[in-house]
A and B are shown apart, each in its own frame.
Chain A
Amino acid sequence: MNADLLKQHLKREGATLVGIGDISEALSSEIMHLNRGIAIAVNRNLNRGTVEILSRLQGLAVSWLSVRGFRNLSIPPDSDRQKDKLITKLYKLFCHKTAATCSGLGWVGKNGLVINREYGSKLSWATVLTNAPLLPDRPIRESECGDCDLCVRHCPSGAVTGHHWSVREHGKKLVAYEKCAALKNVRQSIEGKPNCGFCVTVCPYSRNGKKKAANS
């Protein structure tokens, strides 16, 4: 089943990127029947209220699938912050990074974030899982960070280990999140803003993305 219609539909409505991933390998038994992941990305540079935009796009994808009689499950962009419902327990069974890499929209960088060739790590992601037999895009299975280690050197908490991500080595520790979190706590108490964002801003891919956005 061709996914171009759906992709065009979502892009017209404000999605920066849309990809279809064959995610069968990454699913646990509870959601095994939903073997396609629709990765939807929005460029944070261009938009405020990214979460709202993504949620709206997700809603559009869900209705597109539902009227065609397919099952679906939305993993919201801020899935880690939602805890008050039962369905939120399923969110952690699947992460946006998997949908992004399976649909070829990026790889997981040394900084532990999805890096897209055009936009770097400046994208926010939402995923819709579905059983619709959409034609999947070609996945990215290896890191394309190469020798670049800017994020390793610039991370103020020394959390970025510098390892390469690969689909074959699932669970390899790319970032020492406890170090990152410790710094976030300090920053939160001093400045009221937890994120430093160096690992995003130093990434050459993210910078190119920004230039492109400014030019267009």
Chain B
Amino acid sequence: MADEARKKEILEKLRNGVIQYDEDACREGANEAVAEGLDANEAIFDGLVSGMEEVGRLFEAQEYFVPEILMCADALYAGLDILKPHCKQMDLGVKGSVVIGTVEGDVHDIGKNLVKMMFDVAGFHVYDLGRDVPLDKFVDEQLKTDSELVCLSAMMTTSMVGMPKVIEKIKAKNPNCMIMIGGAPTSKDLADKWGADGYAEDASNALKEAIKMVAFLKKLRDEKAAKQ
């Protein structure tokens, strides 16, 4: 096990690699973490994801735009690919699987993909239906996979109208399933009105919400660790 100073150095390398969208730095940091016996989960959350949180802040501050976000996410994935095989399956106290997709009539999936990525990192099993997904497909997939969570995304008001139909159908068949919606035209009010359980606020960037979720999961993990 590397000493504390070295550990800090590696985590910093991973974090900065993501922030500066430097894939090579992330790979290098990840390889060092593996070689020197750093805990892979720690490297992911306190290194890569911590960097992505800063990216989210830069995005809100309009220092970063969508291209930077995507490049940062690519850098994160570059490190993640190396670290993931060394990961202990994370027990966050929130076990589960999630069905995610962009609703019918909508081909915007950048936000959806970022959310998906964060679920991936958090150890969820993700069933990604992609974009322009027929409404019934969500219902079928949820039943088939018995997922605890369904996430619906839409970027346009024209496609958003499909959401309440999906929510109604899923709730009719499986009232225990949690549903979250997100995307530019959606709102907390709409989520409440349609009976969704959660709302990814300000969804022109679904990333922010994903980061919150991961931060939340992280908190759960930490709380759980504190109890032990």
**Nearest CB of chain B from residue A120's CB, rounded to whole Å:** 32
**Nearest CB of chain A from residue B164's CB, rounded to whole Å:** 26
* A73: B residues at CB distance < 8 A: 67
* B73: A residues at CB distance < 8 A: 86
A87 touches B74 (CB 8 A): yes
CA distance A71 to B73 in the complex (A): 18
B70 in the interface, Cβ–Cβ < 8 Å?
yes
CA distance A181 to B114 in the complex (A): 33
B66 touches A86 (CB 8 A): no
A81 in the interface, Cβ–Cβ < 8 Å?
no
A31 in the interface, Cβ–Cβ < 8 Å?
yes
* A87: B residues at CB distance < 8 A: 67, 70-71, 74
Binary interface encoding of chain A residues 33-73 relative to chain B, with 1 for a CB under 8 A from any of its CBs, else 0: 11000000000000000000000000000000000000101
B102 in the interface, Cβ–Cβ < 8 Å?
no
* A90: B residues at CB distance < 8 A: 66-67, 70
Interface centre among B70, B74, B77 (most CB of A within 10 A): B70
**Nearest CB of chain B from residue A43's CB, rounded to whole Å:** 29
Binary interface encoding of chain A residues 191-209 relative to chain B, with 1 for a CB under 8 A from any of its CBs, else 0: 0000000000000000000
A86 touches B70 (CB 8 A): yes
Chain B interface (Cβ < 8 Å from any Cβ of A): 65-68, 70-71, 73-74, 77, 109-110, 113-114
Chain A interface (Cβ < 8 Å from any Cβ of B): 30-31, 33-34, 71, 73, 85-87, 89-90
List 15 A-B pairs, Cβ < 8 Å. Answer: A30-B66, A30-B110, A31-B66, A71-B68, A86-B71, A86-B74, A86-B114, A87-B67, A87-B70, A87-B71, A89-B109, A89-B110, A89-B113, A90-B67, A90-B70
